[in-house]
Amino acid sequence: MDYNTMCPRYEVAIDIIGKKWTGLIIRVLLGGSRRFKDIKKQIPEMSDRMLTERMKELESVGIVSRHVYPETPVRIEYALTEKGESLRSIIESIQSWSEQWVEECELQK
């Protein structure tokens, strides 16, 4: 592979999953479908506005699906699609790498 001429698809993939909070959202959804408030509870540092924006982005590229239940009050759940689920091994590999190589001092930045 010629690393001087990277595939444009690689760049798009990194742009999608490399945005702040996106990896954490995907990691949360690897545990199964979740409501907005449950995702927010697991990532409390993220604003509601940012979570909404990221969920829309992930839905638009087919990584997350949004299911609206016809109940009162309306219940909405988010889940990974097959495309999103295929990121499992990548997210788990990043987790393993970080446990081995990310130092405590880097966590405090």
Is 13 in contact with 28 (CB distance < 8 Å)? Answer: no
Residue with tokens 């609206």: 68
The CATH number of domain 8-107, selected from 1.10.240.10, 1.10.10.10, 3.90.1720.10, 3.90.226.10: 1.10.10.10
pLDDT tens track, the chain, 109 positions = 566 666 888 888 999 999 999 999 999 999 999 999 999 999 999 999 999 999 999 999 999 999 999 988 889 999 999 999 999 999 999 999 988 888 876 666 5
- Quote the pLDDT of residue 31: 97
Residue 12 to residue 53: CA distance in whole angstroms: 18
Please name which of 47, 37, 11, 33 lies closest in space to residue 84, comparing C-alpha atoms.
33
3-state secondary structure of 85: helix
In the DSSP assignment, the letter for residue 12 is H
Residue with tokens 């638009």: 60
- Quote the pLDDT of residue 102: 85
pTM of whole model > 0.95?
no
Cα angle value 18/20/25 (rounded, 5°): 90
